[in-house]
């Protein structure tokens, strides 16, 4: 049975998760997290183990994730740094998906289309826009 690989990030997003922390991720899941606005954070295994222990010991445990600074901050103020590609960081901070990225260039696209229509009007015969 084939299962679309975006289902896991969709489900996590539906439950309100905005980030997932682990020592590693499968490539397809990792990439699909970004496509769906979810931040996959890779920390060292001992750091993840420590976070699990702290979570189990403290009901209502809550971390702060500072994407701009690429940091995970515990309630006690302990800071763990993580890496994220600058482009992906930009997209997450701006709330941009693939369509949003394209729409950032809407004026340039419209200018190109107008120029193309003027240069080769026969290509646009029967197209109303």
Give yes or no: residues 52 and 89 share one domain.
yes
Q: 64-66 and 71-73 as β-strands: parallel, antiparallel, unpaired?
A: antiparallel
pTM: 0.78
Q: Report in angstroms the alpha-carbon separations of 32 from 7, 35, 40, 72.
A: 9, 5, 10, 21
> What's residue 5's pLDDT?
56
Total domain count for the chain?
2
Domain span including residue 82: 7-96
Please, what's the b/e burial string for 5-26 (b: 16 or more CB within 10 A of its CB; e: otherwise)? Answer: ebebbeebeeeeeebbbeeeee
Domain membership of residue 1 (yes or no) is no
Domain membership of residue 19 (yes or no) is yes
CATH of the domain at 43: 3.20.19.10
Give yes or no: residues 81 and 111 share one domain.
no
Give yes or no: residues 128 and 88 share one domain.
no
d(CA 26, CA 9): 12
Nearest to 18 by CA among 56, 67, 58: 67
Give yes or no: residues 114 and 62 share one domain.
no
Per-residue pLDDT of the chain (129 residues; tens, 9 = 90+): 344 556 888 888 889 999 999 999 999 999 999 988 999 999 999 999 999 999 999 999 999 999 999 999 999 999 999 999 999 999 999 999 888 889 999 999 999 999 999 999 888 887 665
Domain membership of residue 2 (yes or no) is no
Give yes or no: residues 81 and 115 share one domain.
no
d(CA 87, CA 76): 31
d(CA 94, CA 67): 11
């Amino acid at each position: 049975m084939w299962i679309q690989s975006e289902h896991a990030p969709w489900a996590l997003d539906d439950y309100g998760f905005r980030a997932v922390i682990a020592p590693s991720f499968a490539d397809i899941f990792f990439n699909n997290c970004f496509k769906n606005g979810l931040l996959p954070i890779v920390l060292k295994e001992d750091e993840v183990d420590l976070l699990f222990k702290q979570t189990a010991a403290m009901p209502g445990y809550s971390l702060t994730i500072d994407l701009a600074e690429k940091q995970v901050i515990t309630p006690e103020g302990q800071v763990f740094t993580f890496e994220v590609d600058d482009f992906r960081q930009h997209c997450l901070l701006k709330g941009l998906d693939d369509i949003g990225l394209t729409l950032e260039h809407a004026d340039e696209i419209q200018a190109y289309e107008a120029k193309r229509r003027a240069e080769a009007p026969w290509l646009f015969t029967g197209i109303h826009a």
